[in-house]
Amino acid sequence: MVTMNVSLPDSLRQFVDEQVSERGFGTTSEYVRELIRYDRDRSLLRERILASADADYSEPMDGAYFERLRGVIRAASDDTAAR
């Protein structure tokens, strides 16, 4: 693991300390890592959404399409919960 130093004004340091305490993080580092993971995941999701917007679809995206998609998500969720 690599160490990074970050300089914050007092107001942001106070906010970070409050978030660590209120949200159950053990350390400031855990909180910052969670923020970075969230941002990484959000960026990846954005990339995937934009890529899918350019994709060609062979079937209409109607109510039945989205219901099938919900079924795929439910099945994946059930598989993950069973592990």
Q: 52 in a domain, yes or no?
A: yes
**What interhelical angle do 28-53 and 10-22 show, nearest 10?**
90
**What is the pTM assigned to this prediction?**
0.62
pLDDT tens sequence across 6-43: 999 999 999 999 999 999 999 999 999 999 999 999 99
Measure CA of the first residue to CA of the last residue in the chain; give whole Å: 29
Q: 51 in a domain, yes or no?
A: yes
Containing structural domain, residue 54: 10-82
Nearest to 32 by CA among 70, 5, 72: 5
> Domains in the chain: how many in total?
1
Q: 5 in a domain, yes or no?
A: no
Q: 21 in a domain, yes or no?
A: yes
Q: 14 in a domain, yes or no?
A: yes
Q: 27 in a domain, yes or no?
A: yes
Q: 3 in a domain, yes or no?
A: no
Are 57 and 49 in contact by the 8 Å Cβ rule? The answer is no
Are 31 and 19 in contact by the 8 Å Cβ rule? The answer is yes
Q: 2 in a domain, yes or no?
A: no
pLDDT tens sequence across 56-76: 877 788 999 999 999 999 999
